Structure 1
Amino acid sequence: MATPPDQSGDELTARQQAVLDAVLALMVEQGGDVTMTAVARRASCSKESLYKWFGDRDGLLTATVRWQASRVRAGNYDRQKLDALALRDSLIRFAANWLSVISSPTSIALNRFAIAQASARGGNLGAIMLANGRFAIGERLKPVLDAGREAGLIAFDDTETAFRSFLGLVGRDVQIRLLLGDALDIVAPEIERDAARATDQFLTLYGTAATAAGRSQTNA
Protein backbone atom coordinates (compact mmCIF):
# COMPACT_ATOMS: atom_id res chain seq x y z
CA MET A 1 0.00 0.00 0.00
CA ALA A 2 1.35 3.41 -0.88
CA THR A 3 1.34 5.83 2.03
CA PRO A 4 -0.38 9.16 1.39
CA PRO A 5 1.14 12.41 2.58
CA ASP A 6 0.86 12.76 6.37
CA GLN A 7 -1.70 15.51 6.13
CA SER A 8 -4.22 16.84 8.60
CA GLY A 9 -7.26 18.76 7.45
CA ASP A 10 -5.32 22.02 7.73
CA GLU A 11 -2.56 20.80 5.40
CA LEU A 12 -4.79 19.52 2.62
CA THR A 13 -5.53 21.81 -0.28
CA ALA A 14 -9.13 22.79 -0.92
CA ARG A 15 -9.08 20.59 -4.03
CA GLN A 16 -7.87 17.58 -2.05
CA GLN A 17 -10.49 18.20 0.62
CA ALA A 18 -13.16 18.22 -2.08
CA VAL A 19 -11.90 14.85 -3.34
CA LEU A 20 -12.09 13.32 0.15
CA ASP A 21 -15.58 14.72 0.61
CA ALA A 22 -16.48 13.03 -2.67
CA VAL A 23 -15.21 9.70 -1.30
CA LEU A 24 -17.34 10.10 1.82
CA ALA A 25 -20.41 11.04 -0.24
CA LEU A 26 -19.97 7.98 -2.44
CA MET A 27 -19.67 5.73 0.59
CA VAL A 28 -22.90 7.11 2.03
CA GLU A 29 -24.72 6.67 -1.28
CA GLN A 30 -23.35 3.25 -2.20
CA GLY A 31 -23.02 1.84 1.29
CA GLY A 32 -19.75 0.17 0.43
CA ASP A 33 -16.75 0.03 -1.84
CA VAL A 34 -15.68 2.90 -4.07
CA THR A 35 -13.32 2.88 -7.02
CA MET A 36 -10.74 5.40 -8.14
CA THR A 37 -12.75 5.84 -11.34
CA ALA A 38 -15.93 6.66 -9.44
CA VAL A 39 -14.10 9.12 -7.19
CA ALA A 40 -12.45 10.84 -10.16
CA ARG A 41 -15.82 11.15 -11.86
CA ARG A 42 -17.57 12.53 -8.76
CA ALA A 43 -14.74 14.94 -7.91
CA SER A 44 -14.27 16.03 -11.55
CA CYS A 45 -10.57 15.25 -11.56
CA SER A 46 -8.31 12.75 -13.29
CA LYS A 47 -7.27 9.41 -11.85
CA GLU A 48 -3.70 10.55 -12.42
CA SER A 49 -4.26 13.36 -9.92
CA LEU A 50 -5.66 10.90 -7.39
CA TYR A 51 -2.63 8.66 -7.70
CA LYS A 52 -0.30 11.66 -7.49
CA TRP A 53 -1.95 12.99 -4.32
CA PHE A 54 -2.78 9.76 -2.47
CA GLY A 55 -0.63 7.02 -3.95
CA ASP A 56 -3.25 4.32 -4.55
CA ARG A 57 -6.73 3.29 -3.43
CA ASP A 58 -5.64 2.38 0.10
CA GLY A 59 -3.78 5.68 0.30
CA LEU A 60 -6.97 7.46 -0.72
CA LEU A 61 -8.95 5.60 1.95
CA THR A 62 -6.30 6.41 4.56
CA ALA A 63 -6.46 10.10 3.69
CA THR A 64 -10.27 9.96 3.82
CA VAL A 65 -10.26 8.47 7.31
CA ARG A 66 -7.70 11.06 8.46
CA TRP A 67 -9.83 13.82 6.98
CA GLN A 68 -12.90 12.59 8.83
CA ALA A 69 -10.98 12.10 12.09
CA SER A 70 -9.40 15.57 11.84
CA ARG A 71 -12.77 17.02 12.82
CA VAL A 72 -12.32 15.62 16.34
CA ARG A 73 -10.21 18.00 18.39
CA ALA A 74 -10.01 19.15 21.97
CA GLY A 75 -10.59 22.78 22.83
CA ASN A 76 -7.75 25.24 23.04
CA TYR A 77 -5.92 25.45 26.34
CA ASP A 78 -2.67 26.76 27.81
CA ARG A 79 -0.75 23.79 29.22
CA GLN A 80 1.16 26.11 31.57
CA LYS A 81 -2.01 27.71 32.95
CA LEU A 82 -4.45 24.82 32.85
CA ASP A 83 -7.16 25.03 35.51
CA ALA A 84 -10.29 22.99 36.25
CA LEU A 85 -12.52 25.15 34.05
CA ALA A 86 -10.18 25.01 31.04
CA LEU A 87 -9.72 21.25 31.40
CA ARG A 88 -13.47 20.68 31.58
CA ASP A 89 -14.08 22.91 28.55
CA SER A 90 -11.40 21.11 26.49
CA LEU A 91 -12.86 17.71 27.34
CA ILE A 92 -16.40 18.85 26.53
CA ARG A 93 -15.29 20.23 23.16
CA PHE A 94 -13.54 16.96 22.32
CA ALA A 95 -16.56 14.91 23.41
CA ALA A 96 -19.01 17.03 21.42
CA ASN A 97 -16.82 16.91 18.30
CA TRP A 98 -16.44 13.15 18.56
CA LEU A 99 -20.15 12.55 19.07
CA SER A 100 -20.95 14.76 16.09
CA VAL A 101 -18.52 12.85 13.89
CA ILE A 102 -19.46 9.29 14.88
CA SER A 103 -23.17 10.03 14.48
CA SER A 104 -22.76 11.49 10.98
CA PRO A 105 -23.88 9.46 7.94
CA THR A 106 -20.32 9.53 6.59
CA SER A 107 -18.80 7.92 9.70
CA ILE A 108 -21.59 5.35 9.87
CA ALA A 109 -20.93 4.40 6.23
CA LEU A 110 -17.16 4.20 6.80
CA ASN A 111 -17.52 2.02 9.87
CA ARG A 112 -20.08 -0.30 8.30
CA PHE A 113 -17.85 -0.82 5.29
CA ALA A 114 -14.78 -1.39 7.49
CA ILE A 115 -16.67 -3.99 9.54
CA ALA A 116 -17.88 -5.76 6.39
CA GLN A 117 -14.31 -5.85 5.09
CA ALA A 118 -12.75 -6.98 8.36
CA SER A 119 -12.96 -10.70 7.56
CA ALA A 120 -12.43 -10.35 3.82
CA ARG A 121 -9.10 -11.33 2.35
CA GLY A 122 -7.19 -8.27 1.27
CA GLY A 123 -9.64 -5.92 2.96
CA ASN A 124 -7.62 -3.59 5.17
CA LEU A 125 -9.95 -0.64 5.73
CA GLY A 126 -10.42 -1.82 9.32
CA ALA A 127 -6.71 -1.44 10.00
CA ILE A 128 -6.73 1.93 8.26
CA MET A 129 -9.67 3.03 10.41
CA LEU A 130 -7.93 1.97 13.62
CA ALA A 131 -4.58 3.55 12.79
CA ASN A 132 -5.88 6.83 11.38
CA GLY A 133 -9.18 7.08 13.21
CA ARG A 134 -9.43 5.75 16.74
CA PHE A 135 -5.67 5.67 17.48
CA ALA A 136 -5.05 9.07 15.89
CA ILE A 137 -7.92 10.57 17.88
CA GLY A 138 -6.41 9.11 21.03
CA GLU A 139 -3.15 10.88 20.31
CA ARG A 140 -5.05 14.19 20.24
CA LEU A 141 -6.79 13.72 23.57
CA LYS A 142 -4.08 11.99 25.58
CA PRO A 143 -1.92 15.15 25.80
CA VAL A 144 -4.92 16.94 27.36
CA LEU A 145 -5.28 14.17 29.92
CA ASP A 146 -1.56 14.19 30.65
CA ALA A 147 -1.62 17.98 31.03
CA GLY A 148 -4.51 17.65 33.49
CA ARG A 149 -2.54 15.10 35.51
CA GLU A 150 0.58 17.30 35.51
CA ALA A 151 -1.55 20.21 36.76
CA GLY A 152 -2.89 18.06 39.60
CA LEU A 153 -6.45 18.21 38.29
CA ILE A 154 -6.94 14.52 37.48
CA ALA A 155 -5.21 11.40 38.75
CA PHE A 156 -4.66 8.11 36.94
CA ASP A 157 -1.92 5.53 36.45
CA ASP A 158 -2.29 4.82 32.75
CA THR A 159 -3.24 7.37 30.08
CA GLU A 160 -4.66 4.77 27.70
CA THR A 161 -6.98 3.43 30.39
CA ALA A 162 -8.17 6.93 31.25
CA PHE A 163 -8.74 7.64 27.55
CA ARG A 164 -10.81 4.48 27.14
CA SER A 165 -12.87 5.39 30.21
CA PHE A 166 -13.60 8.81 28.75
CA LEU A 167 -14.61 7.42 25.35
CA GLY A 168 -16.86 4.88 27.03
CA LEU A 169 -18.65 7.55 29.04
CA VAL A 170 -19.06 9.76 25.98
CA GLY A 171 -20.06 7.14 23.44
CA ARG A 172 -22.15 4.85 25.62
CA ASP A 173 -24.11 2.65 23.17
CA VAL A 174 -24.67 5.40 20.60
CA GLN A 175 -22.26 4.19 17.91
CA ILE A 176 -23.30 0.53 17.97
CA ARG A 177 -27.00 1.49 17.85
CA LEU A 178 -26.37 3.72 14.84
CA LEU A 179 -24.36 1.02 13.07
CA LEU A 180 -27.21 -1.42 13.62
CA GLY A 181 -29.69 0.98 12.04
CA ASP A 182 -31.32 2.57 15.08
CA ALA A 183 -32.78 5.87 13.86
CA LEU A 184 -31.44 8.03 16.67
CA ASP A 185 -32.19 11.71 16.20
CA ILE A 186 -29.00 13.24 17.58
CA VAL A 187 -29.15 17.03 17.45
CA ALA A 188 -26.61 19.63 18.52
CA PRO A 189 -28.19 20.59 21.88
CA GLU A 190 -28.40 16.92 22.87
CA ILE A 191 -24.78 16.37 21.86
CA GLU A 192 -23.68 19.31 24.03
CA ARG A 193 -25.63 17.96 27.01
CA ASP A 194 -24.24 14.47 26.57
CA ALA A 195 -20.70 15.80 26.19
CA ALA A 196 -20.99 17.87 29.38
CA ARG A 197 -22.55 15.00 31.32
CA ALA A 198 -19.86 12.52 30.24
CA THR A 199 -17.10 15.00 31.08
CA ASP A 200 -18.51 15.61 34.55
CA GLN A 201 -18.79 11.86 35.12
CA PHE A 202 -15.17 11.43 34.03
CA LEU A 203 -14.02 14.22 36.35
CA THR A 204 -15.97 12.64 39.21
CA LEU A 205 -14.06 9.39 38.60
CA TYR A 206 -10.62 10.86 38.00
CA GLY A 207 -10.75 14.40 39.38
CA THR A 208 -8.77 15.59 42.38
CA ALA A 209 -9.75 17.93 45.20
CA ALA A 210 -8.47 20.83 43.09
CA THR A 211 -10.83 19.89 40.28
CA ALA A 212 -13.78 19.53 42.63
CA ALA A 213 -13.05 22.96 44.12
CA GLY A 214 -12.81 24.54 40.67
CA ARG A 215 -16.09 22.96 39.55
CA SER A 216 -17.82 24.11 42.74
CA GLN A 217 -16.74 27.69 42.09
CA THR A 218 -18.03 27.44 38.52
CA ASN A 219 -21.43 26.14 39.65
CA ALA A 220 -21.75 28.70 42.46
Structure 2
Amino acid sequence: MSDRTDMRAEAREERERQIAEAAYSLLAEKGFGGVSMLAVAKRAKASNETLYRWYGDKPGLFRALIDRNAARVADQLEQAITEGQGDLVALGCALLEMLLSPQAIALNRAAASDASDSLGIVLAESGRGRVFPLIAALFQQRLGEGTAPATADKSAALWVDLLVGDWQIRCATGAMARPDTAARKARAERAATLIDRLPL
Protein backbone atom coordinates (compact mmCIF):
# COMPACT_ATOMS: atom_id res chain seq x y z
CA MET A 1 0.00 0.00 0.00
CA SER A 2 1.44 3.36 -1.03
CA ASP A 3 1.92 6.33 1.28
CA ARG A 4 -0.77 8.20 -0.68
CA THR A 5 -3.24 5.35 -0.19
CA ASP A 6 -2.36 5.26 3.53
CA MET A 7 -2.96 9.01 3.79
CA ARG A 8 -6.32 8.72 2.02
CA ALA A 9 -7.37 5.88 4.35
CA GLU A 10 -6.31 7.91 7.39
CA ALA A 11 -8.16 10.99 6.11
CA ARG A 12 -11.32 8.94 5.55
CA GLU A 13 -11.04 7.36 9.00
CA GLU A 14 -10.70 10.81 10.57
CA ARG A 15 -13.67 12.10 8.56
CA GLU A 16 -15.77 9.07 9.61
CA ARG A 17 -14.85 9.75 13.24
CA GLN A 18 -16.01 13.38 12.88
CA ILE A 19 -19.27 12.25 11.28
CA ALA A 20 -19.83 9.71 14.06
CA GLU A 21 -19.26 12.38 16.73
CA ALA A 22 -21.68 14.73 14.98
CA ALA A 23 -24.34 12.01 14.61
CA TYR A 24 -24.10 10.95 18.28
CA SER A 25 -24.22 14.57 19.41
CA LEU A 26 -27.37 15.25 17.38
CA LEU A 27 -28.89 11.94 18.47
CA ALA A 28 -28.50 12.96 22.12
CA GLU A 29 -30.04 16.38 21.43
CA LYS A 30 -32.89 15.52 19.05
CA GLY A 31 -33.52 11.76 19.08
CA PHE A 32 -33.44 9.59 15.97
CA GLY A 33 -36.49 11.23 14.37
CA GLY A 34 -34.96 14.69 14.70
CA VAL A 35 -31.64 13.79 13.07
CA SER A 36 -31.24 14.44 9.35
CA MET A 37 -28.33 13.68 7.05
CA LEU A 38 -28.04 17.41 6.32
CA ALA A 39 -27.82 18.25 10.04
CA VAL A 40 -25.09 15.62 10.54
CA ALA A 41 -23.19 16.93 7.50
CA LYS A 42 -23.35 20.51 8.82
CA ARG A 43 -22.30 19.51 12.33
CA ALA A 44 -19.38 17.44 10.97
CA LYS A 45 -18.46 20.16 8.45
CA ALA A 46 -18.82 17.57 5.68
CA SER A 47 -20.81 17.70 2.47
CA ASN A 48 -24.28 16.20 2.37
CA GLU A 49 -23.22 14.44 -0.86
CA THR A 50 -20.38 12.67 0.99
CA LEU A 51 -22.76 11.33 3.61
CA TYR A 52 -25.17 9.98 0.99
CA ARG A 53 -22.30 8.54 -1.08
CA TRP A 54 -20.73 6.78 1.92
CA TYR A 55 -23.84 5.68 3.83
CA GLY A 56 -26.76 5.76 1.39
CA ASP A 57 -29.37 7.11 3.82
CA LYS A 58 -29.96 7.81 7.52
CA PRO A 59 -30.47 4.13 8.51
CA GLY A 60 -27.28 3.35 6.56
CA LEU A 61 -25.38 5.98 8.56
CA PHE A 62 -26.60 4.57 11.86
CA ARG A 63 -25.93 1.02 10.69
CA ALA A 64 -22.31 2.10 10.08
CA LEU A 65 -22.13 3.64 13.57
CA ILE A 66 -23.47 0.45 15.14
CA ASP A 67 -21.03 -1.63 13.09
CA ARG A 68 -18.14 0.53 14.31
CA ASN A 69 -19.31 0.02 17.89
CA ALA A 70 -19.59 -3.78 17.42
CA ALA A 71 -16.43 -4.27 15.36
CA ARG A 72 -13.95 -4.53 18.23
CA VAL A 73 -15.96 -7.22 20.04
CA ALA A 74 -16.58 -9.08 16.78
CA ASP A 75 -12.85 -9.01 16.01
CA GLN A 76 -12.04 -10.30 19.49
CA LEU A 77 -14.59 -13.12 19.15
CA GLU A 78 -13.30 -14.07 15.70
CA GLN A 79 -9.74 -14.20 17.06
CA ALA A 80 -10.84 -16.36 20.02
CA ILE A 81 -12.59 -18.78 17.64
CA THR A 82 -9.56 -18.94 15.32
CA GLU A 83 -7.16 -19.55 18.21
CA GLY A 84 -9.52 -22.04 19.84
CA GLN A 85 -9.52 -20.33 23.22
CA GLY A 86 -12.21 -18.05 24.48
CA ASP A 87 -11.59 -16.34 27.80
CA LEU A 88 -15.18 -15.62 28.85
CA VAL A 89 -14.13 -13.00 31.38
CA ALA A 90 -12.16 -10.97 28.81
CA LEU A 91 -14.87 -11.40 26.20
CA GLY A 92 -17.56 -10.50 28.74
CA CYS A 93 -15.70 -7.31 29.66
CA ALA A 94 -15.38 -6.38 25.98
CA LEU A 95 -19.06 -7.09 25.31
CA LEU A 96 -20.19 -5.04 28.31
CA GLU A 97 -17.89 -2.20 27.30
CA MET A 98 -19.54 -2.18 23.86
CA LEU A 99 -23.14 -2.57 25.07
CA LEU A 100 -22.77 0.01 27.85
CA SER A 101 -20.65 2.56 26.03
CA PRO A 102 -22.06 6.10 25.91
CA GLN A 103 -22.62 5.59 22.18
CA ALA A 104 -24.59 2.36 22.68
CA ILE A 105 -26.66 3.94 25.46
CA ALA A 106 -27.47 6.89 23.16
CA LEU A 107 -28.48 4.50 20.37
CA ASN A 108 -30.69 2.45 22.71
CA ARG A 109 -32.38 5.58 24.05
CA ALA A 110 -33.03 6.79 20.52
CA ALA A 111 -34.31 3.37 19.40
CA ALA A 112 -36.73 3.24 22.33
CA SER A 113 -38.21 6.61 21.38
CA ASP A 114 -38.31 5.95 17.62
CA ALA A 115 -41.97 5.30 16.75
CA SER A 116 -41.00 3.97 13.30
CA ASP A 117 -38.90 1.17 14.88
CA SER A 118 -36.35 1.62 12.08
CA LEU A 119 -33.42 2.28 14.43
CA GLY A 120 -34.34 -0.73 16.57
CA ILE A 121 -34.32 -2.92 13.47
CA VAL A 122 -30.88 -1.60 12.47
CA LEU A 123 -29.60 -2.20 16.02
CA ALA A 124 -30.85 -5.79 15.97
CA GLU A 125 -29.43 -6.54 12.53
CA SER A 126 -26.06 -4.85 12.85
CA GLY A 127 -25.43 -5.28 16.58
CA ARG A 128 -26.87 -8.54 17.84
CA GLY A 129 -27.07 -9.97 14.32
CA ARG A 130 -23.31 -9.62 13.91
CA VAL A 131 -22.08 -10.45 17.40
CA PHE A 132 -24.42 -13.20 18.66
CA PRO A 133 -23.60 -15.77 15.92
CA LEU A 134 -19.93 -15.40 16.87
CA ILE A 135 -20.75 -15.97 20.55
CA ALA A 136 -22.73 -19.09 19.57
CA ALA A 137 -19.79 -20.31 17.43
CA LEU A 138 -17.47 -19.81 20.40
CA PHE A 139 -19.77 -21.85 22.63
CA GLN A 140 -20.00 -24.54 19.95
CA GLN A 141 -16.22 -24.76 20.12
CA ARG A 142 -16.11 -24.72 23.94
CA LEU A 143 -18.75 -27.45 24.27
CA GLY A 144 -17.09 -29.79 21.79
CA GLU A 145 -17.46 -31.02 18.26
CA GLY A 146 -20.49 -33.26 18.83
CA THR A 147 -22.58 -30.53 20.46
CA ALA A 148 -25.81 -29.71 18.63
CA PRO A 149 -25.93 -26.12 17.32
CA ALA A 150 -29.17 -25.55 19.27
CA THR A 151 -27.36 -26.41 22.52
CA ALA A 152 -24.53 -24.00 21.68
CA ASP A 153 -27.09 -21.27 20.86
CA LYS A 154 -28.92 -21.91 24.15
CA SER A 155 -25.66 -21.77 26.12
CA ALA A 156 -24.56 -18.57 24.38
CA ALA A 157 -27.95 -16.94 25.04
CA LEU A 158 -27.82 -17.95 28.70
CA TRP A 159 -24.30 -16.52 29.07
CA VAL A 160 -25.41 -13.22 27.49
CA ASP A 161 -28.44 -13.14 29.85
CA LEU A 162 -26.21 -13.75 32.88
CA LEU A 163 -23.70 -11.17 31.69
CA VAL A 164 -25.96 -8.33 30.59
CA GLY A 165 -29.13 -8.91 32.60
CA ASP A 166 -31.10 -5.66 32.78
CA TRP A 167 -28.05 -3.39 32.80
CA GLN A 168 -28.51 -2.28 29.20
CA ILE A 169 -32.10 -1.13 29.63
CA ARG A 170 -31.44 0.39 33.07
CA CYS A 171 -28.56 2.45 31.67
CA ALA A 172 -30.67 3.51 28.68
CA THR A 173 -33.52 4.66 30.92
CA GLY A 174 -31.23 6.38 33.42
CA ALA A 175 -32.25 4.02 36.22
CA MET A 176 -28.58 3.28 36.87
CA ALA A 177 -25.28 4.94 36.12
CA ARG A 178 -22.96 3.30 33.62
CA PRO A 179 -21.02 0.60 35.56
CA ASP A 180 -17.31 1.27 35.85
CA THR A 181 -14.52 -1.06 34.70
CA ALA A 182 -14.34 -2.91 38.04
CA ALA A 183 -18.10 -3.52 38.13
CA ARG A 184 -18.10 -4.77 34.53
CA LYS A 185 -15.21 -7.13 35.26
CA ALA A 186 -16.96 -8.50 38.37
CA ARG A 187 -20.10 -9.07 36.30
CA ALA A 188 -18.08 -10.88 33.59
CA GLU A 189 -16.40 -13.08 36.21
CA ARG A 190 -19.78 -13.94 37.74
CA ALA A 191 -21.27 -14.86 34.35
CA ALA A 192 -18.28 -17.05 33.45
CA THR A 193 -18.44 -18.87 36.81
CA LEU A 194 -22.20 -19.43 36.63
CA ILE A 195 -22.26 -20.67 33.03
CA ASP A 196 -19.64 -23.30 33.89
CA ARG A 197 -21.69 -24.51 36.87
CA LEU A 198 -25.08 -24.76 35.17
CA PRO A 199 -26.24 -27.99 33.48
CA LEU A 200 -26.82 -27.31 29.80
- Normalising by structure 2, we get a TM-score of 0.80
The match for 2:27 is 27
Higher share of residues assigned helix: 2
After superposition, what is the alpha-carbon deviation per residue over 1:104-154, rounded to whole angstroms, capped at 9, x for unaligned? 22212211211222xx34x411111110111211023222112112368x8
Structure 2: 5+ residue runs without aligned partners? Answer: 1-11
Residue 165 (structure 2) pairs with residue 172 (structure 1)? yes
**Contact kept? 2:81, 2:137, Cα under 8 Å:** no
Q: Choose from 105, 113, 116 the match for 1:116.
A: 113
Report the alpha carbon displacement of residue 49 of structure 1 after superposing the two structures with TM.
0.4
Residues 49-198 of structure 1 mapped to structure 2, 5 A cutoff = 49-73=50-74, 74=76, 76-77=79-80, 79=82, 82=84, 86-87=85-86, 89=87, 91-117=88-114, 120-121=115-116, 123-150=117-144, 157-198=150-191
**Inter-CA distance 145–36: structure 2 relative to 1 (3 Å threshold):** same
**Inter-CA distance 50–181: structure 2 relative to 1 (3 Å threshold):** same
CA RMSD of aligned residues (A): 2.6
After superposition, what is the alpha-carbon deviation per residue over 1:34-72, rounded to whole angstroms, capped at 9, x for unaligned? 111111112211000001101111211211221122232
Report the alpha carbon displacement of residue 92 of structure 1 after superposing the two structures with TM.
1.8
CA distance in 1, matches of 2:192, 2:156: 12
**Contact kept? 2:112, 2:120, Cα under 8 Å:** yes
**Inter-CA distance 160–19: structure 2 relative to 1 (3 Å threshold):** same
Runs of 4+ with >4 A deviation? 154-157
Equivalent position amino acid for 1:51 in 2 = Y
Equivalent position amino acid for 1:110 in 2 = L
CA distance in 2, matches of 1:173, 1:36: 32
**Contact kept? 1:149, 1:156, Cα under 8 Å:** no
CA distance in 2, matches of 1:159, 1:187: 30
CA distance in 1, matches of 2:101, 2:108: 11
Residues 6-25 of structure 1 mapped to structure 2, 5 A cutoff = 13-25=13-25
The match for 2:7 is none
- Normalising by structure 1, we get a TM-score of 0.73
Structure 1: 5+ residue runs without aligned partners? Answer: 1-11, 208-220
- Match of 1:13, SS state, is helix
Report the alpha carbon displacement of residue 157 of structure 1 after superposing the two structures with TM.
4.4
**Inter-CA distance 66–156: structure 2 relative to 1 (3 Å threshold):** closer
CA distance in 2, matches of 1:192, 1:158: 26
Report the alpha carbon displacement of residue 16 of structure 1 after superposing the two structures with TM.
2.2
**Contact kept? 2:89, 2:189, Cα under 8 Å:** yes
After superposition, what is the alpha-carbon deviation per residue over 1:67-102, rounded to whole angstroms, capped at 9, x for unaligned? 12223244543656x4xxx43x2x222211221222
Matched residues, number = 186
**Contact kept? 1:27, 1:106, Cα under 8 Å:** no
